[in-house]
Structure 1
Amino acid sequence: MLKTTYSVFLICFSLLSSISYGQVTAIQNIQGRKIQSLNGKWNYIIDPYENGYYDYRHDPFDQSKTGTGGYFDDKVQKDKSELIEYDFDHSPQMNVPGDWNSQSEKLELYEGNIWLRRKFDAKPEKGKRYFVYFGAVNYEAHVYLNGKKLGVHKGGFTPFQFDVTNNLKAGENSIVLKVDNIRKQDEIPTVNTDWWNYGGITRDVFLAEFPEHFINDYKLQLVKGNKNLLNFSVKLADATAGQEITLSIPELKLEKKYKTDAEGKVADEFTWNNLSLWSPESPKLYGVNIKTDKENISDKIGFRTIQVAGDSILLNGKSVFLRGISIHDENPLLAGRLRSEGDMRMMLQWAKDMNCNYVRLAHYPHNEEMIRLADEMGLLVWAEVPVYWTISWTNPATYANAKQQLTDLIVRDKNRASVIVWSIGNETPLSDARLSFMSNLAETARSLDDTRLVAAALEVHRDGNNIILNDPLGEKIDLVSFNEYAGWYWGGNPSEITKYNFDIKYKKPVVITEFGGDALGGFHADENTRWSEEYQEALYKNQITLLSKIGALRGMTPWILTDFRSPRRQHPIYQNFWNRKGLISETGKKKKAFFVLKDFYDQMQVKYK
């Protein structure tokens, strides 16, 4: 059955190869290029009926014979008799990057279509190429420049760009997006999630200038399991042979010169013996330059190895315990996505305050700046794509979308030493179709990057007092990584959960990706009273006792660092659209369970020195 399903998928993939997702793989290290920020105030028009996209017969304006008539034309009235039923210039504004739900009270619960427009000046030069780059837009974006459609992108958390070389004007330009964040069954994620569906242009927007033949992608990392052998590769945006490439790391007095092959590529492996390896205790980053005669790209890159051996996780060849916590891309103190370096640094510092050396960035790709800060601050990272709960497992287009998002995540972050796990999903129910879907994603991850671990947050089931993990996907991934909520969703009160035992099929390192329970910050009662800090505190104490029975336990990321907003959580007293499983409240106050986990991590740090 699995082989048949896999064959059907392969056939469908070949049929889908002509379907455009609106972008080629995103350009590596966009911040290291010549960029003009398009962040700031954007005008917006709320369009729940999509009047700006469809005519009254529900035919798209941008597919009409003239390709005009929609809001993307950004027209202004030139004659007093002219009928125009929209006006960007007199429409309200929102901040970009930023979601619309947190910027207008009437949009707090809005899921639908909104048009956003920004005017900007440009001075394009001959012989240069220009791209408009988006860090993320949630979820489906139709992008237009000066009335011409550039394309469509699906996926709310991954970067994309469009070539605008032939559309960009000297002087004033108008860029318009139709953004749709309506949840749909066949998308990634699907209709059912447990986080706020923030719509809008949620990450940076840049106009980027490049030479005619530019570096689209590069990689510099240690070969798996080798502390001295570096793998270096470069790919130009086009197949230009003979382009000279210079790699240099000034601190190491390393300089190597190459020429691109007929495909515009460079690939090399070479030994370097005096590397200082990156680790949470010593997050060493080297300044790296990659040059052509037209470009000089700077990056900061750390070098480390990660692998499994039996039931151990080896970082730079030494056994490590992953003292972690899960994090959403949301600021509990200020509604909306994390907007700035300050927001992100605050979240990661809270994790370090708990003595974490590891974070799970759930349940989707977080901002690239978050990963770079983890590099700098010394936090290992589990990076994930939103293959979450009830995906349309048999739909080839859904798989293609998931594969593209996973590819974009890996391409973007493959040079970040902090990232040690590519996660292909969370709590996906068992079926043959799901196993095929997820197994193929695991193979994709390994084909793109064989230097990191591949995992997924699996589910368990129970038989009496046994907690059983026998998901067949466990054969395909590197960790026994699973969620369990004894003491909250099942298993009785916290004091009762230590009676359980684990029955785990696979002899691999065990990393508990979620456990926990809700507590309303500041609500105090006895340890058997739901929603109290004492209940959560007792739950954490007994969970640590329960999980310590697992001999192969090598890490955990309890759910979750801070309270976060969720439409699923509706109790008017204790939740009020908040998931209260955070160890830090929405006011920034540390709950009692925070200190239980910190004490445990202090002990594990000593044990794994």
Structure 2
Amino acid sequence: MRKLLAILCVLCLVQPIKAQDGLIQNISSRKKISLNGRWNYVLDPYENGFYDYRRKPFDESNSKTGGYYDDKTEVDKSELIEYNFDYEPTLNVPADWNSQAEKLAFYEGTVWYRRLFSAKPINGKKYLLYFAAVNYEAHVYLNGKKLGIHKGGFTPFHFDVTDLLKSGENSVVLKVDNTRRKEEVPTINTDWWNYGGITRDVYLAELPDTYIHDYKIQLAKNNAQELEGFVQLKGSNKSQKLNIQIPEAKLNINVQTNNNGYAAIKIPIKKLQYWSPESPKLYQVKIIANTDTVADKIGFRTIQTSGKDILLNGKSVFLRGISIHDENPMVAGRPRSTGDLRMLLNWAKELNCNFVRLAHYPHNEEMLRLADEMGLMVWAEVPVYWTIEWENPDTYANAKGQLTDLITRDKNRASVIIWSVGNETPLSNPRHKFMGNLVDVARNNDNTRLVAAALELHRDGNRVIIDDVLGAKLDLVSFNEYAGWYWGGTPKEITKYYFDIKYDKPVVISEFGGDALGGFHADAETKFSEEYQEALYENQFKILKKIDALRGMTPWILVDFRSPRRPHPIYQNFWNRKGLISETGKKKKAFYTLYNFYETIKGLYK
């Protein structure tokens, strides 16, 4: 009998619950309990907790010992159990593991997380276990049963755990692996720290049996007189009447969902205050179903291009931007709080910015909500970075999934004006197909925003050439150029270069810059000095202003950030020093140079 039960248990484990179809919208508005806090962890570089000695997964074998996901303790002195979460150290969640223990600083591999929590599930309610981000591959178990697997270090995922949740104590275990692999997205080679762990919030959300799963309410494409979107219900009672309210705008309409729980929305409007950096107006929006209610704060604006111009609410705008990594320089690791995120965006505002590029992957959802509130337009990106396995169908499916999840999560954020499908990807026919298909995915999921990518350039003497076939499918000509740092000589020598751009579209320079060690001063020809970086910026402005279609830029980067690619013991010490603010929060000389340039630009675009 015990053998039969063991076999049945294994069958349960190899048939994980299917992850929820599509992401739930606006998890922050839901009734939920936080599973943040201290989680016990087991360091497992050999993956002993997942594979037996024949390298066969325990959840696919008849092994009596089982994997760490069983979360067992000895009940018989003859039992062999070679782990015990109860006596293991703890890591804080949300946070990366690299910054919490010295032995984990450069660690890439498997770490097992375990959290015990109490629950009182109610009959007729639905329960979702929600992770805002786990880097990179997560195997998730609840009470010893496998829920599923998620790949991608920056997008949320969740599972319906209604049937597995117990009244009383529950155990959630994650196998988290941040190993870089060539077929993944991002691939092996990057220029940022590969922070592993449960890096964003974890929730157990309680929902009614039929609930508002997803919705979009935005201005229609190029139409400031109509709100457009949809509502999607999930559950057993999909056909319902819905009431949508925007009280301040005196809008109150009723719609009916079909048998699949879907209702399209079209709302003519007479008067709205449009969202902009100067006036980041957000409206309280409420969606009321018979069984559920959701509230959100949403801004409304249009974004489009016309010839060489970018039009925000029909008016030409210059994107005074800066690039940002999802990292707090002064407290090692990923941001741990809203305060960390607000600090980064406040620095961008102090820099005279109205625009930020959130590179090179989806940032925390809270970052986008803060950008809505603070009036910063956003370039949002997926980590299709450098040399991806362009001909691997699984790699493409991964990239497509991350892009789809990013758009699903942030489609109601007025601040997001650009979806970016990648960064500095070398030219080839397989790459053109891969990224061209991603452009189509972005447009099919959201036709109200611009689509871009940070392209590479090529040089022929003093001519800087931007001629990438992908540019024909994009709304902007955006490219990274490092004249004065990686090529082109010293800052004073770069003014001889000029740009030959194939496409007659708005130009947004997605990166330029150079390293400076905060506090190191020398002449303007000494690399890593603040004076060199300052002169580089001054001369960049001279050559960039010659581009007639220049409509924005996001220099690289707001703040110094950690990177294993940067080992120089004096100037870098595993930091990329291209920030305009040092790792101590001190503004470098080039910070003020860019501020002053943006001040002159403001006078040209009212």
Which amino acid counterpart does residue 48 of structure 1 have in structure 2?
P
Deviations 1:137-187 (A, max 9, x none): 000000000000000000000000011011100000000000000000000
- SS of 1:200 mapped into structure 2: coil
How far residue 270 of structure 1 moved from its aligned partner, in angstroms, is: 1.8
Q: Is the 8 A contact 1:24 1:161 kept in 2?
A: no
Which amino acid counterpart does residue 175 of structure 2 have in structure 1?
K
How far residue 262 of structure 1 moved from its aligned partner, in angstroms, is: 1.9
Q: Distance in 2 between matches of 1:239 and 1:483?
A: 50
How far residue 81 of structure 1 moved from its aligned partner, in angstroms, is: 2.5
Deviations 1:401-452 (A, max 9, x none): 0000000000000000000000000000000000000000000000000000
> Which of 289, 304, 308 matches 1:307?
304
Moved more, 546-555 or 227-236: 227-236
Q: Is the 8 A contact 2:255 2:265 kept in 1?
A: no
1:100 aligns to what?
97
- SS of 2:267 mapped into structure 1: strand
Matched, 1:401 2:433: no
- SS of 1:137 mapped into structure 2: coil
1:57 aligns to what?
54
Matched, 1:391 2:388: yes
How far residue 476 of structure 1 moved from its aligned partner, in angstroms, is: 0.6
| 1:560-571 correspondence runs (5 A) | 560-571=557-568
> Which of 127, 146, 153 matches 2:124?
127
> Which of 448, 470, 475 matches 1:451?
448
Deviations 1:343-370 (A, max 9, x none): 0000000000011000000000000000
How far residue 23 of structure 1 moved from its aligned partner, in angstroms, is: 4.8
Q: Distance in 2 between matches of 1:601 and 1:20?
A: 52
Q: Is the 8 A contact 1:100 1:108 kept in 2?
A: yes
Which amino acid counterpart does residue 152 of structure 2 have in structure 1?
G
Deviations 1:269-302 (A, max 9, x none): 1211110000000000001111112211110000
Deviations 1:292-342 (A, max 9, x none): 122111100000000000000000000000000000000000100011100
> Which of 122, 138, 150 matches 1:141?
138
How far residue 257 of structure 1 moved from its aligned partner, in angstroms, is: 1.3
2:467 aligns to what?
470
2:489 aligns to what?
492
1:533 aligns to what?
530
How far residue 34 of structure 1 moved from its aligned partner, in angstroms, is: 1.0
- SS of 1:231 mapped into structure 2: strand
2:8 aligns to what?
none
Q: Distance in 2 between matches of 1:249 and 1:588?
A: 41
- SS of 1:562 mapped into structure 2: coil
Matched, 1:37 2:29: no
- SS of 1:434 mapped into structure 2: helix
2:246 aligns to what?
249
2:279 aligns to what?
282
Q: Distance in 2 between matches of 1:206 and 1:589?
A: 36
Matched, 1:411 2:411: no
2:516 aligns to what?
519
How far residue 475 of structure 1 moved from its aligned partner, in angstroms, is: 0.3
Q: Is the 8 A contact 1:21 1:153 kept in 2?
A: no
- SS of 2:585 mapped into structure 1: coil
Matched, 1:579 2:576: yes
> Which of 501, 508, 517 matches 1:504?
501
| 1:337-376 correspondence runs (5 A) | 337-376=334-373
Structure 2 CA distance for partners of 1:544 and 1:301, relative to 1, 3 Å: same
2:224 aligns to what?
227
Q: Distance in 2 between matches of 1:564 and 1:587?
A: 11
Deviations 1:225-262 (A, max 9, x none): 11111003111124744212111111122211122112
Matched, 1:483 2:480: yes
- SS of 1:228 mapped into structure 2: strand
Q: Distance in 1 between matches of 2:185 and 2:238?
A: 38
- SS of 2:513 mapped into structure 1: coil
1:329 aligns to what?
326
Which amino acid counterpart does residue 433 of structure 1 have in structure 2?
P
How far residue 51 of structure 1 moved from its aligned partner, in angstroms, is: 0.3
Q: Distance in 1 between matches of 2:350 and 2:289?
A: 43
Matched, 1:379 2:369: no
Matched, 1:213 2:195: no
Q: Distance in 1 between matches of 2:185 and 2:338?
A: 27
Q: Distance in 1 between matches of 2:222 and 2:107?
A: 49
Matched, 1:163 2:179: no
1:87 aligns to what?
84
Structure 2 CA distance for partners of 1:67 and 1:446, relative to 1, 3 Å: farther
Structure 2 CA distance for partners of 1:82 and 1:391, relative to 1, 3 Å: same
Q: Distance in 1 between matches of 2:535 and 2:398?
A: 42
> Which of 178, 183, 188 matches 1:181?
178
- SS of 2:264 mapped into structure 1: strand
> Which of 294, 298, 306 matches 2:295?
298
Q: Is the 8 A contact 2:17 2:147 kept in 1?
A: no
1:12 aligns to what?
none
> Which of 55, 77, 85 matches 2:74?
77
Which amino acid counterpart does residue 560 of structure 2 have in structure 1?
D
Which amino acid counterpart does residue 164 of structure 2 have in structure 1?
N
Structure 2 CA distance for partners of 1:483 and 1:186, relative to 1, 3 Å: same
Which amino acid counterpart does residue 384 of structure 2 have in structure 1?
V
Which amino acid counterpart does residue 59 of structure 1 have in structure 2?
K
Q: Distance in 2 between matches of 1:68 and 1:597?
A: 61
How far residue 20 of structure 1 moved from its aligned partner, in angstroms, is: 10
How far residue 268 of structure 1 moved from its aligned partner, in angstroms, is: 2.1
- SS of 2:210 mapped into structure 1: coil
Which amino acid counterpart does residue 483 of structure 1 have in structure 2?
N
Deviations 1:192-243 (A, max 9, x none): 0000000000000000111111111100000011111100311112474421
Which amino acid counterpart does residue 72 of structure 1 have in structure 2?
Y
Matched, 1:268 2:258: no
How far residue 40 of structure 1 moved from its aligned partner, in angstroms, is: 0.4
Q: Is the 8 A contact 1:124 1:169 kept in 2?
A: yes
In structure 1, runs of 5+ residues without a counterpart are 1-18
Q: Distance in 2 between matches of 1:421 and 1:576?
A: 34
Which amino acid counterpart does residue 364 of structure 2 have in structure 1?
N
Q: Distance in 1 between matches of 2:363 and 2:201?
A: 13
Q: Is the 8 A contact 1:62 1:68 kept in 2?
A: no
Which amino acid counterpart does residue 179 of structure 1 have in structure 2?
V
Q: Is the 8 A contact 1:239 1:263 kept in 2?
A: no
Q: Distance in 2 between matches of 1:232 and 1:45?
A: 45
Q: Distance in 2 between matches of 1:250 and 1:171?
A: 41
Q: Distance in 2 between matches of 1:328 and 1:553?
A: 24
- SS of 1:454 mapped into structure 2: strand
Q: Distance in 1 between matches of 2:327 and 2:24?
A: 25
- SS of 1:229 mapped into structure 2: strand
Q: Is the 8 A contact 1:307 1:452 kept in 2?
A: yes
Q: Distance in 2 between matches of 1:274 and 1:379?
A: 23
Matched, 1:193 2:190: yes
How far residue 76 of structure 1 moved from its aligned partner, in angstroms, is: 1.0
Q: Is the 8 A contact 1:277 1:303 kept in 2?
A: yes
1:6 aligns to what?
none
